Amino acid sequence: MASVTHPPITPITPTTPNTDQITFSRTFHPTKSHPFGQVSLPTRKNHLSPLNHSIVISGSALGITAANNVNNNVSNITARPSLANFWREVQGCNNWENLLDPLHPLLRQEIIRYGEFVTASYKAFDLDPTSKRYLNCKFGKKRMLSEVGMSNSGYEVTKYIYATPDINLPNMSNPSFSSSSGRWIGYVAVSSDEAVKRLGRRDILITFRGTVTNQEWISNLMSSLRPAMLDPYNPLPEVKVESGFLSLYTSDESSSKFGLESCREQLLSEVSRLMNKYRGENERLSISLAGHSMGSALAILLAYDIAELGLNKKKSNKKTATEVVPVTVFSFGGPRVGNSEFKNRCEELGVKVLRIANVNDPITKLPGVVFNENFRVLLGGKYEFPWSCSCYAHVGVELMLDFFNVQNPSCVHDLDTYIGLLRRPKNDEVLKQQFDGVNSLLEKAREFLSGSQTMKILPGVVTACNYHDLLNSVSRDIVCSWSDELLFGLVLLLL
């Protein structure tokens, strides 16, 4: 065997940095940035340090090769943990502390994975007015994931979810289809036995698509605050949420003899069934929710509802002990959902929300562009404005992205672009392909607001409104919400 002669190793003095860890200067950028797309994270004040969980990521894991290795032994570098041993941290048990700056590889992987599940709901949604499955899923539950290219996801769809807009409008595309009928809005899935080994637990997943139909857009514009009061035994009237989201979540087809239950009833029934099914298996469970735009608002509402009702609690082997199953929301481009009391209550209940947001995305600024969590108090918190209870507040921890394309402004809210940036594409063409994705939502919004059909619809909306509700809307909520929607409409028309 040929021998290898190594150059003499210079003894390391106390002032020499440890080469087992890689420290980068603030001016060093591991990946190439692009003029219209990059991940923007806060600058660290200190050098790269190990995480609280004693995880040291090798340079190769970051796509960087060290020039010299004194020990010439890669086995001395601690490998990153497997998801099976690290899933609780990824699900936010420590509020993602030390995982966002820099973005941990496992967390990045999981964010992308959950984003792809939301993308599947867009791909499977039938928007062809001539189709028999119009405004429903194109495929059956058993083959839905495989039809959208996710046959190896390791999840099995158990239930489709429908939401009924509480707005009756004429359907211009398909007059035979009732505008008050339920629309397919997402699905519930469960990880398979094989996937449990990789994930480290049984994962109950609920995903929601974003706004697509005209009725859903109008529901989004109904942004006055209303008490949630989802728990009849503990109503908490001070906890308020956006009325449009709440209506979409709780409305049903009560006018029809064989109508659908509300989105809420469908979801709580299925979550309870799955919790009971896996309650006695002595295995670890998690409840994960993912949504884009309006879908992220529904995901947060459901997460709060589950925790408020205690559906995420199961008895352990001990007679008196109760295990709390973690409830985590991965929100992509989501708006604000409720007031500060709603935010505080979610935190009290242990609901974890990771908000992936683009700094240039107008949807993430709504509702409450001006009157929000940053405009509630004066002089460092000494004084609180009288309208503070009507100010919207974001829930959870934020992971901020930064991308914009002058040639296609609607990309700022596009889910495909969100996922594409998280994958850090190596060239502009990859991002360019993302702009022509399945859910260029702002483009659809602009068409809706500027289209001639909208002008025909809006008078019907005003006529159908209950005048008592309209007068009630002229309150301090109007200052905090309606101005946002006017600004939102102007932004879309200008785009």
Catalytic residues: 293, 361, 413
Residues 6+ apart with CB under 8 A from 110: 83, 90, 330
Residues 6+ apart with CB under 8 A from 113: none
Three-state SS at 190: strand
% helix / strand / coil in the chain, to the nearest 5? Answer: 40, 15, 45
Question: What DSSP state is assigned to residue 80?
Answer: P
Question: What DSSP state is assigned to residue 103?
Answer: B
d(CA 479, CA 484): 9
* Ordered alpha helix ranges (H), 281-427: 294-309, 340-349, 415-422
The DSSP H or E segment spanning 115 is helix 105-123
Q: Where are the beta strands (DSSP E) in 167-298?
A: 183-191, 202-208, 225-227, 240-242, 285-292
Give the number of other CB atoms < 10 A from CB of residue 195: 17
Main-chain dihedrals φ then ψ at residue 363, nearest 5 degrees: -65, -35
Parallel, antiparallel, or unpaired: how do β-strands 240-242 and 397-403 relate? unpaired
Closest by CA position to 48, among listed 130, 112, 103: 103
CB 422 within 8 A of CB 112: yes
Task: Give first-to-last CA distance, the chain, whole Å.
Answer: 68
What string of DSSP letters covers 32-80?
A: --BTTEE---PPPSS-----TT-----GGGGT---S--SS--GGGSPPP
d(CA 112, CA 352): 17
Between the CA of residue 495 and those of 252, 417, 454, what are the distances in Å? Answer: 35, 17, 18
CB 374 within 8 A of CB 480: no
d(CA 389, CA 466): 25
d(CA 55, CA 62): 14
Tokens 């595309």 identify what position?
Answer: 173
Three-state SS at 398: strand
Three-state SS at 468: helix
Q: Hey, what are 373's tokens? A: 């969590």
